[in-house]
Amino acid sequence: MLEISNLAKQFGTMQALDSVSIQVPPGQFVAVVGCSGAGKSTLLRLINRLVEPTSGAISFDGQNVSLLKGHQLREWRSRAAMIFQGYNLSPRLDVLTNVLVGASTSIPQARRLLRLYTKAERLRAAAVLDDLGLVEKAFERAERLSGGQQQRVAIARALMQKPKLILADEPIASLDPLNARVVMETLRRINVELGITVLCNLHSIETARMYASRAIGLRQGRLVFDGPISALTDEATSEIYGGTPAEAESDALSEAA
């Protein structure tokens, strides 16, 4: 269970997140929606501890994530894998090596620095790539892949971490509709088949309705909606985006373009 209590983040005079409290049971697929600047990325980065909260608490399965340091913090970041809009791959390394980076927390530093991976580690990385339909790209440089393929490599790297939670920060914002669908279907399959909890920032309300079981709506750093995806009505959408449903979807699409 992921529990967030009165979580807040202030950057100078800007209140990026304001007293947000949510609980996410294991196995949910949660879409986090809202305008640009609503606090979506800040929320995910706070959960992963890429940025520090101004106040509030984060816990997972009873462990106070807010207090973790050193090795324990690195372990948490492994359990709560981040997927970024910009993929965050090493473009000149081959796909297999990029995926193996996901196992870094369980590999001694000397081997990690020298990229000395065991046969078992390589076979596991290849198996993850095969499951995502990318094993034939294993020895290609990451920069030669399409955007959708690179994002699936990033998902494979995240799976190598053996995560309990995947935090996807606008993973399809840079992709064309076809590749966006493939990436979202991949995340949903991981959620359903492996039972991994997914929190996914999305611009498009329609995409949220297609893939998520629950939606969290943020507006100017505040939580304004939290409920099952079936409750994400036109009225709720207007509350999140501050306009008519048509205007909200149009604004979301223009932001993602």
Q: Where are the domains of the chain?
A: 2-256
Q: Does domain 2-256 have CATH number 3.40.50.300?
A: yes
**pLDDT confidence of residue 221:** 95
**pLDDT confidence of residue 115:** 73
**pLDDT confidence of residue 223:** 97
- Note down pLDDT in tens along the chain; length 257 residues: 999 999 999 999 999 999 999 999 999 999 999 998 999 999 999 999 999 999 999 999 999 999 999 989 989 999 999 999 988 899 999 999 999 988 877 677 767 767 778 899 999 999 999 999 999 999 999 999 999 999 999 999 999 999 999 999 999 998 999 999 999 999 999 999 999 999 999 988 999 999 999 999 999 999 999 999 999 999 999 999 986 455 555 555 555 44
CA–CA separation, 167 and 10 (whole Å): 21
**Helix-helix angle 147-160:119-131, to 10 degrees:** 130
- How many other C-beta atoms can be found within 10 angstroms of the C-beta atom of residue 242? 15
**pLDDT confidence of residue 246:** 52
**pLDDT confidence of residue 117:** 84
- How many other C-beta atoms can be found within 10 angstroms of the C-beta atom of residue 245? 15
Which tokens in the block code for residue 90? 């090493």
**pLDDT confidence of residue 45:** 96
**pLDDT confidence of residue 242:** 83
Surface-to-core class of residue 20, CB atoms within 10 Å of its CB (0-12 exposed, 13-18 middle, 19+ buried): buried
pTM: 0.90
Nearest in space to 108 (alpha carbons), one of 117, 96, 120: 117
Write b or e for each residue in 147-164: b if 16 or more Cβ atoms lie within 10 A of its Cβ, otherwise e. bbbbbbbbbbbbbbbbbb
Nearest in space to 227 (alpha carbons), one of 242, 249, 212, 238: 212
Asked if 33 and 207 touch (Cβ cutoff 8 Å), the reply is no
**pLDDT confidence of residue 243:** 67
CA–CA separation, 179 and 168 (whole Å): 15
User: Token match 């992921």: residue?
Assistant: 2
Sheet holding 222-228, edge to edge: 80-84, 165-169, 197-202, 29-33, 214-219, 222-228
**pLDDT confidence of residue 116:** 78
Q: Up-side HSE of residue 128: CA atoms within 13 Å toward CB?
A: 27
194 Cβ partners below 8 Å, 6+ apart? Answer: none
Phi–psi pair at 212, nearest 5 degrees:
-90, 155
Q: Using CA atoms of 176, 181, 183, 188 in order, give the dihedral in degrees to the nearest 10.
A: 160
Which tokens in the block code for residue 138? 């294993």
